[in-house]
Amino acid sequence: MSDTGTLTIVGIGPGAHEHTTPAALEALRVAEVIVGYTTYIRLVQDLIAGKEIIRTGMTEEIGRARAAVERARAGAKVAVISSGDAGVYGMGGLVFQVLQESGWRRGDAPELRLIPGITALNACASLVGAPLGHDFCAISLSDLLTPWALIERRIEAAAVSDFVIGLYNPASGRRTRQIVRAQELIRAHRAGSTPVALVKSAYRRREHRVLTDLDHLLEYEIGMLTTVIVGSSQTFVFEGHMITPRGYTNKYTWEGSALPGQVPGRSLVVAEDS
């Protein structure tokens, strides 16, 4: 073991270890100190027995990030964990901000490493089909740190331009209006029959999935652990799966030959443009 501390920011994926990468598992194995939100620590409990654990509550992210940086600067091998990917609404950015605040420079200890993870959006998508098969966006409905006006602006832009929309943090015990408003904003630009998936606790013990549509999504329970995926105008439901096609049938027959006027490897020719 070297004397220099290391700081590894680890995305552990949705929860089940079979979806945690070997790199993430190895990072947990070699760490001396594990820093993370209580819920995420619990997801990897069996992998980190005997290690020092720094866990705090949900609004204490800054304290966790500071503790991680301090311990790593003092020489410890520290792993900061987030569920999903630590860089997506996770601890990644905050750890960098704390490093910056502390005067850290490239080349200084601790040595930094980021290990990507399966995001909640991808985990949830895989449980309902292939809803992210074309352009998509992720929007957090939490206005705890972001002005609600900006969140509305993003929902509207995504709705107008036909992105598949993944909504993170759609609601909590206290926040219930945001998903109602999001539904309203999207519905103004998209059919009520647009497929919507509600996936809770993907790949965890209490996993629950609902396939519904834009007009009916508010009839189901939506909470902190739910990810909402709203389809684009092209998304369809097939035998219980939600699919957003890439667009092969715009250009090819099922035999794989190009449709009249289309050339493989060339831009799609759109009738209205010709």
**Which of 125, 196, 198, 210 forms a contact with a copy of itself (CB under 8 A)?**
125
How far is 35 from 27, CA to CA, in rounded Å?
A: 12
How far is 268 from 86, CA to CA, in rounded Å?
A: 37
**Complex with a copy of itself: residue 49 or 145, whichever CB lies closer:** 145
Residue 245 within binding range of a copy of itself, rule CB under 8 A: yes
State the minimum distance, in angstroms, from the CB of residue 266 to a copy of itself: 7
Span 143-162, contacts to a copy of itself by CB under 8 A:
143-151, 153-154, 156-158, 160-162
Residue 158: strand, helix, or coil: helix
State the minimum distance, in angstroms, from the CB of residue 247 to a copy of itself: 3
Residue 68 within binding range of a copy of itself, rule CB under 8 A: no
**Which of 4, 30, 52, 63 forms a contact with a copy of itself (CB under 8 A)?**
63
Side chain identity, residue 145: L
**Complex with a copy of itself: residue 215 or 269, whichever CB lies closer:** 269
Identify the H or E element spanning 156: helix 148-160
| Residue whose token pair is 């901000």 | 97
Residue 48: strand, helix, or coil: coil
Q: Assign residue 240 a region: left if phi > 0, alpha if psi is -120 to 50, beta otherwise?
A: left
**Complex with a copy of itself: residue 215 or 246, whichever CB lies closer:** 246
Span 203-242, contacts to a copy of itself by CB under 8 A:
238-241
Span of 88-96, 180-188, 206-214, 216-224 interacting with a copy of itself by CB under 8 A: 88-96
**Which of 6, 8, 12, 13 forms a contact with a copy of itself (CB under 8 A)?**
13
How far is 228 from 231, CA to CA, in rounded Å?
A: 10
CA 144 → CA 58, 233, 265, distances in Å? 12, 31, 46
Residue 33 contacts residue 75 (beta carbons within 8 Å): no
Q: How many residues bind a copy of itself (CB under 8 A)?
A: 105
Residue 260 within binding range of a copy of itself, rule CB under 8 A: no
